[in-house]
Structures are given as C-alpha cells and as structure tokens.
Chains A and B, each alone.
Chain A
Amino acid sequence: MEYPLPPESGAPAWSKTRDARQVDARVTNALQMARPGGRRVGLVAVVSTIVALLLTAIRNDSFGQNWVYSICVGFSCWFFIEVGRLTIMRWVKRRAARRHAARTVFPPFRWLIPWIIVSALLGYEVGVVFGNALLGLKAPGLGLFATNPRALAVILIITILATLVVTFWWFACARLAESEARAESAQRAASETHLKLLEAQLEPHMLFNTLANLRVLISVDPERAQVMLDRLIGFLRTTLHASRSDVQSLAEEFARVSDYLALMAIRMGPRLEVKIDLPQELRDVPVPPLLLQPLIENSIKHGLEPKVQGGCIEVAARCDADSLVLTVRDSGVGLSHEATTAGTRFGLRQVRQRLTTLYADRAQVALEPATGPDGGTIARIVLPIASAVAA
C-alpha cells in the first residue's frame, strides 16, 4: 500500500537546528518572507523533503513516492493557507482602515488556527490528486477513511501539526520584523525631533543677527561686546550640552534663559525689558533642560518682536504645594494675533510632548491671555517637585 505522505514542513527540530546567523538573516528578511516568494517555495520544498525522509524511515517504504506526495500536499496546504491569510487581512484592513494594522502582514495567529486545520485537510486531498496525476497511481486521499481510518488519522495529525508549526514560525518571523521596523521608525522620529529642536534653538536668523550686532559692538563698545560674546558662548554651550543631558538644575536653566534674553536685549535695545525671578530655595530643583526656551522664544518672536513699542518679559519660578510653577509672561501683541501660527504651535507642542513623556499626566503646560492692563500672553508650566525638593 502506498500512503500518500504527510506534507508540509516544519518538524520543530528543523527550526532548532538553524544556526543563529541564518535565523538573523531570516528575521531581517521576514517581512519579504511573509509574502509568497522564492524563499518560501524553497522552505516548503525542503521541509516536505525532510518529512518524506522521516516517514520513509519510519515506514520503510518508497522514498520517491513519499517525496512526490509530500511535495504536492505541502504546496497545496501552503496555497490554501495563503488564500485564507490574504482574505483575513483584507477584512482586517477594511475594518481598521486608518489604524496601524495596515502595516502588519499577518492576522492574529489564533484567528488563523481553524483555517490552518481546514487548509491541511483540503491541501491533503488536493495534494494527493496531484500526486496521483504525476505518478499515475490511485492513492485514496481522504477516502482512506473508509478502509484504514487509523492510518489516515496519523497522516492528518502529522499534516496538521507540521502546517501549524511552519505557519507559526512564519508568523513569528513576520511579527518580529514588524516590531523591528516599528522600533526603527520610532528611533528615526526621535532623532528627527531632536534635530528639529536643536535647529529651532540655534535658529540661524537669531545667530546671524546676534553676530551682526556683536560685530558692531566690537568697534563702538569693546567691553560690552565682550560681555555679549560671553553670553553667546554660554548660550551655545548650554544649548549643545543640554540637548545631550536629561536633567539640569533650575539655576542652570535660568542662567541659560538670562543669556538668551541678554542677547535679545542688546538686539532689541530699549524695546525689551527683562525681569527674572528665581527664589533661592528653588535653585537646585532638577528640571528637564531647555524646557523654558521654546516658550521664551515664542514670547519674543510672536509677542514682543511684532509689537512696535516692544514690552516686558517676565520669567519666574515659584513653589506651590508640591508643584513647581514656571511662568513666562510677556506684554506683547497677545494671543489672538498670532496664536495660530505654526511656530507657536511647534514650540508649545514640543514642551507638551516632553512633559507627557517625562511626567505622564502629572505635569501641564498652558498658554493663555495675560490679565492686567498690559495685555500680552502668559505661559505656565506646572511640574511635580515633591521628590525633587526632598532629594
């Protein structure tokens, strides 16, 4: 009797014997692998051959015939599984049209299990038909149930198991590749934000304008030029340093702010009045670096620079219960005028994003019209400091 032999792939032992480097290569290519392609054809052929060898060894019959049936059944099973997978994916994508699901190539594995079993049965029957046609034989396929149900049960269990294992292997590879791709794009987004941040802080227009002022100052007032140069050095040093460190003291943050505002005061002349208020007891409170900078730049760029007569900027820190409250208040043109410009939103969004990353919902930033006769805008950051002050 010739038993058409179990098909497909995937003796678990096979996966364990792959050496680590090959597995790595597989992982890298897993996204491509998850699509039908040469690699998968090769894999199905190799695994089917291994299964045929295994069965020939167990049952001591013709390897040639076992191999032909095994190959036919293996590819048939693969065909049915693939059809099912693509159908499920189309349905999933339609359901979650705009979500990240569109990036995945495999539906959840548990959804696939029933279909894998059906595919194994269908694949077995179709594979036997193909094998018969190739060999000119008349093996019975699922019809074997009538004469030798035990033999059929063994073959089907092996078929189903092998199919499950191989499909799961592919599934795992695809998922791994997806998560790697996601991690990589997250990393890229993070570096892009970082670069943008740095670019925003070292805005070329600000730098060149400052240098132009400095150049003039050197000839008319060398002493003041030196002071200004020191401020610029301080500003550049802390900006570059802070973009690489996670925390700095509030005193350092305020020193940076005062460098920046001193440079602005030289540029804007009497149009800019600066008030900085940092209570002694808050000097050592650790804060994330460059936190205030975007808000101060907003105040200057969108509040005071556009205002013909200029105005005042006030930067202050105070302790409120277990919160640190930082405020940047300007008497500029106010919110209604420029609140919708892309620049303001970028600065504010940047601060908000950083606060969310660092403190989840325990920190807030808000921008609102300042009350009082001068009008203008007030930006307020509230951070938890209980632990920080105690430390």
Chain B
Amino acid sequence: MKAPVALIAEDEPLLAMHLRTELAKAWPELVIGASVADGASAAQQALALKPDVCFLDIRMPGWSGLEAAQAMAEDWPDETAFPLLVFVTAYDQYAVQAFDAQAVDYLVKPLDSKRLEASVARLRKRLTDRVPQTALQDSVDQLRALLGSSPGVSAVEAPAPGARLEVIQASVGNMVHMVPIDDVVYFEAADKYVRVITAEREHLIRISLRELLPQLDPQQFWQVHRGLVVRARAIHTAQRDDSGKVFLTLRGRPERLTASRLYAHLFKGM
C-alpha cells in the first residue's frame, strides 16, 4: 500500500508548522503533499493532488475551510476516492457542536498530542476501511448538514433580519439599471462579482454571492451550486446523471445549468 498523502490548509504559519511536526510524530508514514494558507488554494491543491486526508482550518482568508471542502466535494471526479476531511478550529463552540452532531473529524487548537494520536488512529482505520464509492457521498451528506445548520461554521456573519432585496441596482458606466428581483432568473458567481441573469439580458454587480445570498428569499431562490442561485419557479426540468449531478433546464432561458452533488437532493419527484 502506498504511503498516505495529506494536505494542510492553515493560514497561521506557526500553527501549520506545528501540525506538520506533530503529524510527523503521530503518523510517521504520512506524506504532507502540500501546505497552503487559504481556502481557495486548498481546494485547488486538493483537486490537483488527490490527497487521502485534508486538514482544513475553519477561519482562513478568502474561502473558509468549509467553503474549500464544499468546492472540493462539488468538483471531485467520480473515479477517485474523496479524501477524509479533518477540520481545525481555535474556539468555536457552535462549530464543534455541529462537527460532533455530524460525526465529522475535527481538531481543536491548541493541538493536544493525545487527541491528535486518537484522531490519527481513527483516520488510519477509516482509510483502510474506506470504500471509494461511498466516501464521497458520505462527505457530501455531512457537508450539506454542516452548511445548512451552523452559523458558527460558515464564515458569513448573520445578516440583518428583514433586509430582503427588492431591486438589483446594476451600474454600467455612469448609468444604473434597476432590475426588479422578480425578473431575475438566476445569479451566477463570477470571481468577486455576480452575474444577474434575466430573461432578456444579463448584468454584473459588484458583490459576492456569499454577501448576496442572505438578502434573497430562500423560498424563491434556491442555491444549487456554490456559485449558482436559481429562481425555483424558473426551473423547468431537472435531470440526474450517474455521477450525482443534476442538469436543469429553465423557463425563459435556453442554457442548461448544473446543480452540484451537494444540492441534488433538492430535486426529487414528489
């Protein structure tokens, strides 16, 4: 059996170094394939490296550890086993509660070497017992529960209540287009911007999807991918493929959209 490979995502250099040295003691044959300092790099490196274990700090610049895990789960190829995820957090009782509830592996900073040893033993066992076909689905279920349940785990702070967006103000040069929220078919993340797509045309607004999301009515607008929020009533059909992805056709737009594994459960026959 080849040596297991790990990825470490931790933005504080001292703590990353410490995790490396402690792992070297507790799990000598583990190879640290990459050590990154932000969430987006974590997802990118994980997809490139296909490690067996990922240690993800929760609070990182850019994407949080959880968002990185989401991106990995959404884009992971079917043929390889999904890595075991271990979240690392400094102090966050909500996060810890959520992890406990979902039986997710986690470590608490400052690292305790006894706990790390216990954790490593568990990871080793899970690694040998792991069935590649179900590993991904298990992680997807866990992540879905974590993303839905817990204010402490997600990096987004709770929005001011009652601040639902009625009109999107999209500026082009020195002109502002007023787009009623009812005209929007879907929103798509584009780096730091969001594309607002109506039946007739599209606009670009300077806000991240993460900031926009709390201002939308979750009954009307469904998140179907980390970068895609669709008006439920505009979805015409949903068709599932073998890999667990769901393809959506729309009313009023010709293009097909893809819902990720994490949100495929939204589309079930009644």
User: Which residues of A approach B to under 8 Å, CB–CB?
Assistant: 204-205, 207-209, 211-213, 215-217, 220, 266-271, 305-308, 310, 336-337, 340-343
Contact = CB atoms under 8 A, between A and B. Distances in A.
Contacts of B18: 215-216
A307 B192 CA distance: 12
B13 A306 contact: no
A270 B37 CA distance: 12
Query: Which interface class (under 10, 10 to 19, 20 to 34, 35 or more) fits B?
Result: 20 to 34
Contacts of A305: 59, 61
Give the top 5 A-B pairs by smallest Cβ distance, nearest first: A212-B110, A212-B109, A269-B13, A208-B91, A216-B18
A204 B59 CA distance: 14
Contact of A216 (B17, B59, B158): B17
Contacts of B207: 336
Nearest to A332: B61
A208 B61 contact: no
A216 B15 CA distance: 7
A204 B110 CA distance: 13
30 contacts: A204-B91, A205-B90, A205-B91, A205-B92, A208-B109, A212-B90, A212-B109, A212-B110, A213-B14, A213-B15, A216-B15, A216-B17, A267-B12, A267-B14, A268-B11, A268-B12, A269-B14, A270-B13, A271-B11, A305-B59, A306-B62, A307-B61, A307-B62, A336-B206, A336-B207, A337-B211, A340-B160, A342-B157, A342-B160, A343-B157
Contacts of A267: 12, 14
B111 interface: yes
Interface string B20-40: 000000000000000001101
Interface string B211-232: 1000000000000000000000
B208 interface: yes
Contacts of B110: 208, 211-212, 215-216
Interface in B37-94: 37-38, 40-41, 59, 61-62, 90-92
* Max count, chain B CB within 10 A of own CB: residue among A215, A307, A310: A215
Given A205-B90, A209-B90, A342 B158 contact: yes
B176 to A, nearest CB: 15
B15 A308 contact: no
Contact of A212 (B111, B208, B211): B111
A334 B80 CA distance: 40
A312 to B, nearest CB: 15
A340 B156 CA distance: 11
Contact of B61 (A205, A213, A266, A306): A306
Contacts of B208: 337
A371 B127 CA distance: 52
A8 to B, nearest CB: 51
A209 B109 contact: yes
Nearest to B13: A269
Nearest to A305: B61
B5 to A, nearest CB: 24
Contacts of A336: 206-207
B14 A266 contact: yes
A208 B90 contact: yes
Nearest to B18: A216
Contacts of A269: 12-14
Interface in B168-209: 206-208
Contacts of B15: 212-213, 216
Nearest to A345: B160
A216 B90 contact: no
Contacts of A341: 157
Nearest to A343: B157
Nearest to B22: A216
A214 to B, nearest CB: 8
Contacts of A216: 14-15, 17-18, 110
A268 B61 CA distance: 11
Contacts of B211: 337, 340
A341 B206 CA distance: 16
A308 B40 contact: yes
B132 to A, nearest CB: 32
Contacts of A207: 91
A310 B61 CA distance: 9
A35 B260 CA distance: 63
* Max count, chain A CB within 10 A of own CB: residue among B11, B61, B111, B158: B61
A295 B181 CA distance: 35
Nearest to A270: B13
Given A337-B208, A340-B211, A343-B157, A220 B12 contact: no
B50 to A, nearest CB: 23
Interface in B210-254: 211
Contacts of B11: 268, 271
B44 to A, nearest CB: 12
B12 A213 contact: yes
A211 to B, nearest CB: 6
